[in-house]
Chains A and B, each alone.
Chain A
Amino acid sequence: MIGNDIIDLKLALSQTRAENLRFQKKIFTRNEQEFIQNSTNPEVHLWLLWSIKEAVYKAHQRIFKLPRKLNPIKIECTPITYSKNIMAGLGKVDGINYKTSSYLTSDYIHSISHLETKQDHYVKIVSEPINLKQDMIHEFSSRNLVLKEQLQIIKDRYSIPFFSLKNKKLNTSFSISHHGNFAAYIFPLIKY
């Protein structure tokens, strides 16, 4: 099961938040607040942790078919390795540890969260408007060797979107994210 989240940095940084302790207290645990304040660029690292929380929340909500909730402080992010603009860590919620991986550029931050370690994924990040769902169907069908015409995206009774192949719901998960000028999606690559 996967989640992902993209942050358009130009949009995010248009309003400063690292000084806004009230905002941080509603979202970040004490350890996370420390990580932000101790970092070289608190504004950016605030959004880094936020994107990880969103990615974890999306994966968690899908797996457990949870109703939507606004309680980001329940997810505790722990950075583990951080070098060359890539940060890997864990995001813990309801006793479950999701593996997280984030990539920072000067334009965006992209985070993914997942439970399976041996699964390869396909990630696409776009910075201009496209029909994201159509694009994802196109990529999924060509990379996972299924016929595009037989592939659709449907929502189940919890309003969670799924792939449907030949009218049968697929168990493969995917995650889509939009923010500002950016959009991103991720899906697993099926091994044959």
Chain B
Amino acid sequence: MNDKNILKKLKIIVTPYVQNKEGLNNFNEETDFLNDLKINSANLVDVVLDVEDEFNIEIDNDSMEGMLSVGDAKDIIQQKLAHS
């Protein structure tokens, strides 16, 4: 799956959890889940679960550890898709 599609799907996944909707206006790889979108950390786990469901992958805890931005999520998704 190409990066653009992944970002599109990611935006849909995170939107319900975003407390700073303005952060969605410039949604790109640098967008930080906590700082830019103000998703609280419990909801960040929900995002990980939703990503697992959407892309049919499993994100282990070590991978989840570094999933703090859109770019991080995209990299992890690409990596897991390549191995599935």
Q: Are B66 and A26 in contact (CB under 8 A)?
A: no
Pick the contact of B41 from A23, A54, A73 — CB < 8 Å? A54
Q: Are A69 and B48 in contact (CB under 8 A)?
A: no
Q: Are B68 and A70 in contact (CB under 8 A)?
A: yes
B58 to chain A, nearest CB (A): 10
Q: Are A71 and B46 in contact (CB under 8 A)?
A: no
Q: Is the interface of B mostly helix, strand, loop or mixed?
A: helix
Q: Are A70 and B41 in contact (CB under 8 A)?
A: yes
A141 to chain B, nearest CB (A): 28
What total of chain B residues lie within 8 Å of the partner, measured CB to CB? 16
- In the complex, whether A68 has a CB less than 8 A from a CB of chain B is yes
- In the complex, whether B84 has a CB less than 8 A from a CB of chain A is no
Q: Are A22 and B49 in contact (CB under 8 A)?
A: yes
- In the complex, whether A50 has a CB less than 8 A from a CB of chain B is yes
A12 to chain B, nearest CB (A): 8
Bound together, the chains give a CA A97 to CA B79 distance in angstroms of 35
Binary flags per residue of B53-65, CB closer than 8 Å to A gives 1, else 0: 0000000011011
A159 to chain B, nearest CB (A): 9
- In the complex, whether A184 has a CB less than 8 A from a CB of chain B is no
Binary flags per residue of A10-29, CB closer than 8 Å to B gives 1, else 0: 00100000000011001100
CB contacts (< 8 Å) of B42 on chain A: these are: 12, 50
Residue of A nearest to B68 (CB): A68
A110 to chain B, nearest CB (A): 16
Pick the contact of B45 from A23, A74, A179 — CB < 8 Å? A23
- In the complex, whether B70 has a CB less than 8 A from a CB of chain A is no
Q: Are B67 and A70 in contact (CB under 8 A)?
A: yes
Q: Which of A12, A23, A68, A74 has the most chain B CB atoms closer than 10 A to its own CB?
A: A68
Which residues on A are within 8 Å of B, measured CB to CB?
A: 12, 22-23, 26-27, 50, 54, 68-74, 179
Extra pairs beyond A26-B45, A70-B68, A71-B64 (10, CB < 8 Å): A22-B49, A23-B45, A26-B61, A26-B64, A50-B42, A70-B64, A70-B66, A71-B62, A71-B65, A73-B61
Can you list 12 contacts pairing A with B, beta carbon distance less than 8 Å?
A26-B45, A26-B49, A50-B42, A69-B65, A69-B66, A70-B48, A70-B64, A70-B65, A70-B67, A71-B61, A71-B62, A71-B65
